[in-house]
Structure 1
């Protein structure tokens, strides 16, 4: 048994999550804002704003290609990391190589070689976005695999998962404040596009520093049992899915990602159409959603240790179903629409806290169980496959959402918006069914039991 990871190292490990959440948050929050500017944004149009089939824009196709590329590289990086024999360790070596280009391409995504509307900018964006996602995966997949290896017990993995959930929230929170930074440079006389690029450069440098903290402070060889896998990628994927408990859980997780992505992307329509509130209220609700989840992190950690992870995840799925059913009737209830909005996000913040912490810890438990049973340590592939499934779920949700939003009645797409809540609730029910099949007691047995 390797040394137990001290609290100070647990904190430095979690700071890497702050770094990649900050960089990822820049892209997820501002990519569409920057390249499909509204008249009020004051940003120049750099990419032709044409639509194919009436709804598919160039930036939409680029982002879908990016997410698909991001998803398919997960198993590849996972396998390469599992097989690595680097002196720095199987995970840290990949994280170190990925950190600088990850930060660099985060900035270059917003750099336009032609200072006018041009297809060249679209091509440049495609290349830089794909490279951003590649190096994100190259950092994140080994990073998550480390969670299973640094945490030697279910309790230690749960604590690590809680810490990275906190730093994940903080990273996205800092990214959300980028307008304050670029407005400061606008006040100094810079053009808005230049000010935005400067702001993202500063934030990316900060993100890079945090990416490197676990790289230079954690001795992987000291704290992790590192046995390189000799299986090729196809064999490793087959072995991963041959673990029946993993297959049940990852299908449940895949369905969860469909539902939660619908929730996140449809929220602006719930606010502006169903509740007839101004767009500005969305920012306040997102802050409330994040802070609400943050508040519940500690109770979730405590309750998971006392009652088990599965029971909390079942409760979270049930509460999500309640939230979505409630969402169907937004704007139709006999209470203030403002109260309806606050109640919607407060209720939603509870299951989001549960799903923000527990799935990573569950995957870590499954990976350890599998290693004890088979003698092969393939943490990277377990986390890589789970990440692939989550990204696939996000892609599916975007297709569903875009199709539902095209449904109209009496000149409005209100019916389509309400149907997004119906569909999300149905997916949550499906996810709950698969989760109930997952045998937590089997996975949670001690090593001596798993070898039996």
Structure 2
């Protein structure tokens, strides 16, 4: 209790600076997470592709692709290392703080490899390029995990109440969306740079390096301006890493939530990767229009951040997430029929964006706050402070979801990904619906009332 008395409340200005770190890693991670398929297996809108062929484009073992396997291997490695980094962070007692040490180690290589993945050693087709992609994504995800997992754990510890965690989660959701919104302008920026006599490849690569540099600068903010030991509890976790992970997964509410989160990330990865294909192939619109749609979608989602925060306090987080799941089912159902609905094609694109903004706002804010609530309630009940393990295990499951989505999407493209033969693209919408339904079923078992009851008892005791 003596340690708790000396912990100061994080001032608003520091909360902003901390949240800007999220903008940085959101921007740095945008291209590796969203554009690998686009760069190495570009859409075919006519007689040629956007980028030249650099890796094998056909099927592996009948159902996989090289880029799908590379994405999947990277995400699997990332998922496995999440609990490892989380456990090491929980047990760390560095003078700078148990989270700060890992942020400092990860920031430079994380930023650098987020761009280097898109600079293959051979300009044309080569097996060496495939090796480069596989190695690049593994190195990238290792250092991304080293920054991101401790960052989330720090968020939980800097916020000392459920409402404070919801507020800080809202802030980092806003900065995440800003980073993703900037990243989504890759198509527009690439088009501008092409006017300066750069090839499509060169314009794309320059854009990604710009994102990497800006991301690095913003990721410095939590390192330079947040005194971790001043504003958060620093009780090291005495459990061993594997023991800590097992105990976290034995928390039934946490397990059900993370399985639900896994299914959600499969669906979201499919839709996010597919947007440029929906726009160019299903709707026959220009590639640059994708950037406009994405910035519009993020701008609209901002409008719902405040209402989502207010409603979450009044009605609970669970009800809003249930609604968001149902909205995603409606949206993905509409995506299946894009281009065949008797509406203007641009109007169809706008409808998808408008509908998507609401559930994106909900999922952007609430999951991190829920994990923070679970971690704090578990610490109160067990006496073990392992916030990073909870976030690490959650990201483990979410990245497994992204891995499955990254494997599934290019495999479905093999069934048809050109104008007039687009069945593979349409089937991605159906696949997303299936996973959203699975996610909703598991999330319905989450007992929010039990978690809030424990947090209330903790607050009364303190």
Give CA-to-partner distance per residue, 1:76-123, whole Å, 9 cap, x none: 111111111111111111001111111122232233334443333332
Please point out which of 1, 5, 12 is paired with 1:7.
12
| Distance in 1, Cα, partners of 2:307 & 2:180 | 22
TM-score (normalizing by structure 2)? 0.87
CA shift in 2, pair 1:44/1:263, >3 Å: closer
Give CA-to-partner distance per residue, 1:370-409, whole Å, 9 cap, x none: 011111111111001111111111222344445555557x
TM-aligned CA deviation for residue 268 of structure 1:
4.5
| Distance in 1, Cα, partners of 2:352 & 2:123 | 43
Tell me what 1:224 maps to.
232
TM-aligned CA deviation for residue 316 of structure 1:
1.2
Please point out which of 13, 20, 26 is paired with 1:21.
26
TM-aligned CA deviation for residue 415 of structure 1:
5.5
TM-aligned CA deviation for residue 35 of structure 1:
3.3
| Distance in 2, Cα, partners of 1:402 & 1:84 | 40
Give CA-to-partner distance per residue, 1:211-244, whole Å, 9 cap, x none: 1111111011011111111222221111001111
Q: Do residues 77 (structure 1) and 85 (structure 2) align?
A: yes
| Distance in 1, Cα, partners of 2:206 & 2:286 | 30
Please point out which of 157, 160, 164 is paired with 2:168.
160
Q: Do residues 52 (structure 1) and 57 (structure 2) align?
A: no
3-state DSSP of counterpart to 1:444: helix
Contact 1:405 1:413 in 2 (8 A): no
Aligned residues: 450
Give CA-to-partner distance per residue, 1:315-335, whole Å, 9 cap, x none: 111222233344445455554
CA shift in 2, pair 1:266/1:184, >3 Å: closer
CA shift in 2, pair 1:62/1:263, >3 Å: closer
3-state DSSP of counterpart to 1:229: coil
| Distance in 2, Cα, partners of 1:120 & 1:217 | 42
Tell me what 1:121 maps to.
129
TM-score (normalizing by structure 1)? 0.89
Tell me what 2:258 maps to.
250
| Distance in 1, Cα, partners of 2:404 & 2:36 | 20
3-state DSSP of counterpart to 1:113: coil
Give CA-to-partner distance per residue, 1:303-356, whole Å, 9 cap, x none: 112221111111111222233344445455554444333223211211111011
Q: Do residues 34 (structure 1) and 39 (structure 2) align?
A: yes
CA shift in 2, pair 1:317/1:7, >3 Å: same
Q: Do residues 317 (structure 1) and 325 (structure 2) align?
A: yes
Contact 1:252 1:434 in 2 (8 A): yes
TM-aligned CA deviation for residue 438 of structure 1:
1.1
Please point out which of 390, 410, 417 is paired with 1:382.
390
Q: Do residues 300 (structure 1) and 305 (structure 2) align?
A: no
3-state DSSP of counterpart to 1:437: coil
Please point out which of 415, 422, 428 is paired with 2:436.
428
* Structure 1 unaligned residues grouped into runs of 5+: none
| Distance in 2, Cα, partners of 1:434 & 1:181 | 40
Please point out which of 438, 444, 452 is paired with 2:446.
438
| Distance in 2, Cα, partners of 1:124 & 1:263 | 26
**Which stretch of structure 1 is more off in the superposition, 277-286 or 258-267?**
277-286
| Distance in 2, Cα, partners of 1:179 & 1:407 | 26
TM-aligned CA deviation for residue 413 of structure 1:
5.6
* Structure 2 unaligned residues grouped into runs of 5+: none
**Which stretch of structure 1 is more off in the superposition, 229-238 or 84-93?**
229-238
Tell me what 1:344 maps to.
352
| Distance in 1, Cα, partners of 2:123 & 2:79 | 32
CA shift in 2, pair 1:42/1:315, >3 Å: closer
TM-aligned CA deviation for residue 191 of structure 1:
5.7
Contact 2:68 2:408 in 1 (8 A): no
| Distance in 2, Cα, partners of 1:17 & 1:139 | 10
CA shift in 2, pair 1:239/1:265, >3 Å: same
3-state DSSP of counterpart to 2:453: coil
Tell me what 2:381 maps to.
373
